[in-house]
Structure 1
Amino acid sequence: MPGAPQCCCVPFFFFFLLVWWWPNFCLGGDPYVFFDWTVSYITAAPLGTKQEVIGINGQFPGPILNVTTNWNVVINVKNDLDEPLLLTWNGIQHRKNSWQDGVSGTNCPIPTGWNWTYQFQVKDQIGSFFYFPSQNYQRAAGGYGGIIISNRDVIPLPFLMPDGDITLFIGDWYTKNHKKQRKDIENGKDLGVPDGILINGFGPYHYDAAVVPEGIAYQTINVEPGKTYRLRVHNVGTSTSLNFRIQNHNLLLVETEGSYTVQQNYTNMDIHVGQSYSFLVTMDQNASSDYYIVASPQFVNSSDWDKAKGVGILHYSNSLGPASGPLPDPPNVLDTYFSMNQARSIRWNVSAGAARPNPQGSFKYGEITVTDVYVILNRPAELIDGKWRTTLNGISYLPPATPLKLAQQFNISGVYKLDFPYRLMKRPAKLDTSVINGSYKAFMEIIFQNNDTNVQSYHLDGYAFFVVGMDFGVWTENSRGTYNKWDGVARSTTQVFPGAWTAILVYLDNPGIWNLRSENLNSWYLGLEVYVNVVNPEIDQSEPLLPDNTIYCGLLSSLQKDQAQRVKFSSAASMSGAGRRVLLAFVVISVVCYLFNEVKDV
């Protein structure tokens, strides 16, 4: 009635939430973003022949996950494949949260027809990464996509804002499906020369009628003259190192896998399997024609590989005609010395900020005392107990039916052993579930010694490590005299050349069980991986507990509820209880913030 006091329409608990959450939401805290992804087979013809590939929401490659550092990401994944699925987030560090890592040591796979919700924060990270399926050789069929983590507005870029942002996925490709490929690998067969190199899921431009049949769709990148674009290039292939170049254009390297680099121009860059780079490319040519974008195999000595080139087109808006003539020359395809020197030239930009305002070089890794040293040697595939297997220090990793992280959570003994050797032992090679026992906040030195004939790429989940040295020959204690202890680049994937070694340093400040693996699918599938166990001896309340949407398998299968009792596939309904509470709180606070701002404006 007129003149009567108006009651407050916001209950007391809303007021409490407002006071508690106001700094995070009304004044710009860490937001949540939600995605629904369906992973399924779709039909594509990247090399002119129809085949089954793995798509996400009907896309191949999958959607780009474009977020800003410190955002909370919630991705509900529905598995419509005919076999179990896990997605892993290559280079995302999942601070204190290996539950979301999406590899066999931490998660039970998502069964066919089920869905599972990943929930993680891209905490204090920036840069260019990608995701892919980690099980059953599935990456060879697709299922990959890009991850872009941008700086917050308060953290400046160490270069002018580009006029555009372009993601390129390059990788070797076979028309044989991934199930037949993995069967061949199990039987010790070499997959041979790939049928082609894809760029963003497309085959090569028709640059040579003798090599490329007509009718193959190719990638065209449309650009404006005079503008500068950021190109994020990922090698998502199975096992082939690729040289990337753009005809008549320089590649100004600015970032790799979450670290800003010293800015240097390259005419080409060797990008090994699993690696990601950012380049600034300025459109400074006269556009008399289009220009070739090329990704070609490195370190191969057979003419059969000549046909395996990825070729796209850079098209200026004022171009006078199509690209023609020979492709731009690569460096000597067999020159590993050139490639190693190029890799050594990539350095950390110690004066640039990254996810935080302090300079990257404020972490003086060269002054920290090393506490653990592992010399990890890989060898070519060999027969172990009648099976073709690859080994690290004589051990081929045997994935247990119960993930390591779950076994640790439920105190189940006998699933794994914390006895991975520091060096190669004088004993026969064996299959085993042997794990590196890492000490929390220790500073670990790992030397990868490659006794194979192919380049290996090694990736460590949960961390960025410092690449401090690489050389040909056998690593010795004296090799430390060649280490870069000031501006070695921090990244999550590094190459190791055949007959050579690469040394990394890593600060084990992220508790969890983390996968150290070969990114070469052939080697990884046959056992070239190990896990690093990092336990905080103190009770750490910030480390997430067992997710309430956990899928159980192996020795814990009896705990698993039927999918129909757990969730339905939608952004809200399929989240775990914690996720639903977060979403509810987000909605409530958004309404409260809106009401508050309306009252404030009045």
Structure 2
Amino acid sequence: MALFRALVLFFFFFFLTNVSLLLNFTNAEDPFAFYNFEVTYLTASPLGVPQQVIAINGKFPGPTINVTTNNNVVVNVRNKLDENLLLHWSGVQQRRSSWQDGVLGTNCPIPPKWNWTYQFQVKDQIGSFFYFPSLNMQRAAGGFGGFIINNRPIIPIPFDTPHGDIVIMIGDWYTRNHTDLRKDLDAGKDLGMPDGVLINGKGPYRYNDTLVPDGIDFEQFDVHPGKTYRLRVHNVGVSTSLNFRIQSHNLLLAESEGSYTVQQNYTSLDIHVGQSYSFLVTMDQNASSDYYIVASARFVNESRWQRVTGVGILRYTNSKGKAHGPLPPPPDDEFDKTFSMNQARSIRWNVSASGARPNPQGSFRYGSINVTEIYVLRNKPREKINGKNRATLSGISFVNPSTPIRLADKYKLKGVYKLDFPTNPITGPPQAKTSVINGTYRGFMEIILQNNDTKMHSYHLDGYAFFVVGMDYGEWTNNSRGTYNKWDGIARTTAQVYPGAWTAILVSLDNVGVWNLRTENLDNWYLGQETYIRVVNPEANNKTELPMPDNALFCGALGKLQKPQDISAGASIGKNTVKLLFTWLVFVCALIPIF
């Protein structure tokens, strides 16, 4: 009997730390997917220089999260860095729950040596996304990984099932530590030219003995001849747009950030910072040699940036030799960006595809919905505010509050932020403040992103997929609406804005919460080029916004509410889960006398 009781206690604590079986049993319709992330520093040499990178579970990049539409995702994060941490799920729309968004304006950071558990549902969503650490330039050191949301089996995908999935993370890279990059920005310096481009955390294949030193590890993808693969490509870099291409192979574009696209072939595609695409690539070439996979910098002086090129290898299983010869060239348009913009305009939404759809009330008919709010957001070269270089949106440089906005709302704190973000750029001197957009629940917002900088920018909105309806060079005017695509503009989460140009997006404000709108260029994001859209249902209920989680962290003015954490504990577990486990234990112990 004593042995049996001991076994019962053992299995109880086993279930306590591995609750997926229990939770799957309690909610079989929407299963739970569990991940444990230990975030640490790791020494790596992707460009031949030893440096500190951020790894997850000892991997750089981190593991891929692979789930299905409507799954409940639980990610337990152990922060073993020496600074605060938040993980952000870029493009993954936490419906009704900005509490899990992982950005500083909505969540208190996870302190060093602490443990925190994210839990959210990937409701009515499919596609290719990624996660990354959102604080203080940490993404420049790694900590990123892929995030795949698959269709449920009952809903067909609009192409034959590929032979396999391949996740490819591309991005510009510095050999300086992310803390040194921060110091440079704080000192008013530019980051300068990157030291290279990585593919899945590895440096370039030695395609050129002069440009690429010996001994650098490169990424190789092994494929079977005649098979078609789905390549999910993400630009996780700092600030450089990259052109992606595979020698002698066509890229059939099929999906972008949660929306199936009209399928079109490209020999190469520009992928801007923060953007994600799915390509179907058929291995239809002969196997006389391997093939180059290339990610090279765009809109730069090519001769100076030749060494900033990522090169991997596509290897057929029956390949007869190494890749050779010059790299496949990028588009020849260094001084004319019209080609790239026309390419971007050619990406259209597949409105006939089945599947989960973002903002369903806007599907197909977004062009006929009345716009209720209009915001013109202008970015300019950095400006001095109180003696320091800052980046601005519409003349305002965002200051993150010590108490997150959503937490301040919950506890009715005053003075944490102001709902005074201007609908048009301010005309006076630039300001640094916590200014937030007051969004109307179930409103339909038009946002014009005007880039008056000399650099390419891309902008991201958390919590939503928006419709990219127009882009052009020059200043946006009311007459520009005559050029909008009102039928099949792509629905996505990150849109590029060309230098001296504008991009217009439409978004249906159906997701209650406080949602970050920012540049994805890390240097300007760090220097304040962001704001938040606050969307509140005047009739508060759990159907439009989930309650604050049991394990919410407290900081700033509410820091006194935070209880010390037992750093030896495992995953954070909510009260309801504990109650279920306790009930299970009582039930099992009640059976002991029977035995």
Q: Normalising to structure 1: TM-score of the pair? A: 0.91
Q: Distance in 1 between matches of 2:311 and 2:145?
A: 20
Aligned to 1:168, the other structure's residue is in SS state: strand
Aligned to 1:392, the other structure's residue is in SS state: coil
Query: Residue 208 and residue 360 in structure 1: after superposition, are their counterparts in 2 closer, same or farther (change >3 A)?
Result: farther
Is 1:446 matched up with 2:444? no
The aligned counterpart of 1:189 is 189
Contact kept? 1:261, 1:489, Cα under 8 Å: yes
Structure 2 counterpart of 1:476, which letter?
A: T
Shift of 1:346: 0.2
Matches within 5 A, 1:331-350: 331-332=331-332, 334=334, 335-350=336-351
The aligned counterpart of 2:465 is 464
The aligned counterpart of 2:70 is 70
1:414-451: CA deviation from partner (whole Å, max 9, x where unpaired)? 00000000001221101010000000000000000001
The aligned counterpart of 2:530 is 529
The aligned counterpart of 1:552 is 554
Q: Distance in 1 between matches of 2:546 and 2:586?
A: 24
The aligned counterpart of 1:561 is 563
Contact kept? 1:242, 1:298, Cα under 8 Å: yes
The aligned counterpart of 1:514 is 515
Structure 2 counterpart of 1:391, which letter?
A: T
Shift of 1:357: 12
Contact kept? 2:374, 2:445, Cα under 8 Å: yes
1:287-326: CA deviation from partner (whole Å, max 9, x where unpaired)? 1100000000000025221111000000001111000110
Q: Distance in 1 between matches of 2:359 and 2:275?
A: 26
Q: Distance in 2 between matches of 1:580 and 1:205?
A: 51
1:77-103: CA deviation from partner (whole Å, max 9, x where unpaired)? 011001000000000110010000000
Identity of aligned residues (%): 66
Query: Residue 272 and residue 585 in structure 1: after superposition, are their counterparts in 2 closer, same or farther (change >3 A)?
Result: farther
Structure 2 counterpart of 1:132, which letter?
A: F
1:333-352: CA deviation from partner (whole Å, max 9, x where unpaired)? 52311110000000000000
Aligned to 1:30, the other structure's residue is in SS state: coil
Shift of 1:191: 1.6
> Which stretches of structure 1, 4 residues or longer, exceed 6 Å deviation after superposition?
356-361, 582-589
The aligned counterpart of 2:12 is none
Matches within 5 A, 1:94-493: 94-301=94-301, 303-332=303-332, 334=334, 335-355=336-356, 362-493=363-494
Contact kept? 2:171, 2:238, Cα under 8 Å: yes
Query: Residue 357 and residue 289 in structure 1: after superposition, are their counterparts in 2 closer, same or farther (change >3 A)?
Result: same
Shift of 1:585: 8.6
The aligned counterpart of 1:594 is none
Q: Distance in 2 between matches of 1:100 and 1:227?
A: 39
More deviation in 541-550 or 173-182?
541-550
Q: Distance in 1 between matches of 2:586 and 2:466?
A: 40
Aligned to 2:460, the other structure's residue is in SS state: strand
Aligned to 1:148, the other structure's residue is in SS state: strand
Q: Distance in 1 between matches of 2:511 and 2:539?
A: 13
Q: Normalising to structure 2: TM-score of the pair? A: 0.92
Q: Distance in 1 between matches of 2:358 and 2:451?
A: 38
Q: Distance in 2 between matches of 1:356 and 1:263?
A: 17
1:147-169: CA deviation from partner (whole Å, max 9, x where unpaired)? 00000000000000000100000
Aligned to 2:450, the other structure's residue is in SS state: strand
Contact kept? 1:351, 1:360, Cα under 8 Å: no
Contact kept? 1:69, 1:126, Cα under 8 Å: yes
- Structure 1 residue ranges without an equivalent (≥5): 1-21, 592-602
Query: Residue 108 and residue 537 in structure 1: after superposition, are their counterparts in 2 closer, same or farther (change >3 A)?
Result: same
Q: Distance in 1 between matches of 2:439 and 2:260?
A: 28
Shift of 1:205: 0.2
Matches within 5 A, 1:578-589: 578-581=576-579
1:255-286: CA deviation from partner (whole Å, max 9, x where unpaired)? 00000000000000000000000000000001
1:442-488: CA deviation from partner (whole Å, max 9, x where unpaired)? 00000000010111110000000000000000000000000000000
The aligned counterpart of 1:91 is 91
- Structure 2 residue ranges without an equivalent (≥5): 1-21, 589-595
Q: Distance in 2 between matches of 1:583 and 1:505?
A: 45
Query: Residue 88 and residue 358 in structure 1: after superposition, are their counterparts in 2 closer, same or farther (change >3 A)?
Result: closer
Q: Distance in 1 between matches of 2:583 and 2:210?
A: 62
Supply the RMSD in Å over aligned alpha carbons: 2.1
Contact kept? 1:289, 1:323, Cα under 8 Å: yes
Is 1:575 matched up with 2:537? no
Contact kept? 1:193, 1:304, Cα under 8 Å: no
Query: Residue 168 and residue 581 in structure 1: after superposition, are their counterparts in 2 closer, same or farther (change >3 A)?
Result: farther
Aligned to 1:78, the other structure's residue is in SS state: strand
Query: Residue 585 and residue 500 in structure 1: after superposition, are their counterparts in 2 closer, same or farther (change >3 A)?
Result: farther
Aligned to 2:304, the other structure's residue is in SS state: helix
1:43-98: CA deviation from partner (whole Å, max 9, x where unpaired)? 11101111110000100000100000100011110110010000000001100100
Q: Distance in 1 between matches of 2:467 and 2:291?
A: 36
- Aligned positions, number: 565
1:543-582: CA deviation from partner (whole Å, max 9, x where unpaired)? 2212111111110011111112xx75424xx222234456
Structure 1 counterpart of 2:506, which letter?
A: L
Aligned to 1:416, the other structure's residue is in SS state: coil
